[in-house]
Structure 1
Amino acid sequence: MQNNKINYIELPAAKLDATKTFFKQTFGWGFVDYGSEYSAFENAGLDGGFFHSEKSSNTKDGSALVVLYSDDLEGIKETIVENGGTIVQNIFSFPGGRRFHFSDPSNNEFAVWSDK
């Protein structure tokens, strides 16, 4: 553990099982359940968890944006759609790379970026 550093993130999930399946199949994350309404994720770069809630995390509502990295932006975009994610903003360029935004089965917004 590093003192005074971000250590853990928690996100809502209306469809907890579908959300876990999506991230496991799409990004290879692992999960540890703590009861029926909370599941911690691992192997995601930063540890965290999903808690059952009808709310979702979206930038239009002022939420922070969780951004993942991929060295194959087009490939991961296709995998996201195949596994039940929805593209909410197509690939665009920005200084330093390219990225797109997607929502998971619980309607949480994420982004994936690449420097390639």
Structure 2
Amino acid sequence: MNKHEAINYLELPAKDISATKAFFTTVFKWTFVDYGPEYSAFSDPCIEGGFYQSDLMSTTSQGAALVVFYSEKLEQTQAKVEQAGGAIIRPIFTFPGGRRFHFIEPSGNEFAVWSDKE
């Protein structure tokens, strides 16, 4: 999967690594490998990365990049996010090319999910 000069790995802060791991395992089926108490690596079929222990959060209001997931069933994914303890901060809205919503996961990081399906 290593491709020359492509994004290869993503690292994000996490106040509560255990809660963040549980959230992403439940909603997106990520798997994790712990490297000590302050770092946990994740993988899914599309990307790999890790969460590091930090009191900081990644939100667009603070100028952070936005990580965006794709879903063929946007409402179903939003329900899964809410059931797993995520907070919806921008309900589903339309934009050129589709629809999306933004959420905060248990450690306070902002993510979005978009779809080109109605």
Which TM bucket (shorter chain)?
over 0.9
Equivalence map 1:26-45=2 (5 Å): 26-43=27-44, 45=46
SS in 2 for 1:26: helix
TM-score by length of 1: 0.98
Q: 1:14 maps to which residue? A: 15
Equivalence map 1:1-116=2 (5 Å): 1-43=2-44, 45-116=46-117
Question: What's the offset of the Cα at 1:2?
Answer: 0.9
For residues 30 and 82 of structure 1, the distance between their equivalents in structure 2, rounded to whole angstroms, comes to 19
Cα displacement string for residues 24-70 of structure 1 (whole angstroms, at most 9, x for unaligned residues): 00110000110010000011521100000000000000000000001
Identity of aligned residues (%): 55
Equivalent AA in structure 2 for residue 95 of structure 1: P
Q: For the structure 1 residues 44 and 102, does the alpha-carbon distance in structure 2 shift closer, same or farther, using more than 3 Å as the test?
A: farther
SS in 2 for 1:106: coil
Equivalent AA in structure 1 for residue 56 of structure 2: K
For residues 90 and 78 of structure 1, the distance between their equivalents in structure 2, rounded to whole angstroms, comes to 11
Question: What's the offset of the Cα at 1:3?
Answer: 1.1
Q: Which runs of 5+ in 2 are unaligned?
A: none
For residues 54 and 45 of structure 1, the distance between their equivalents in structure 2, rounded to whole angstroms, comes to 27
Question: What's the offset of the Cα at 1:14?
Answer: 0.1
TM-score by length of 2: 0.96
SS in 1 for 2:47: coil
Instruction: Report how many aligned residue pairs link the two structures.
Output: 116
Q: Which runs of 5+ in 1 are unaligned?
A: none
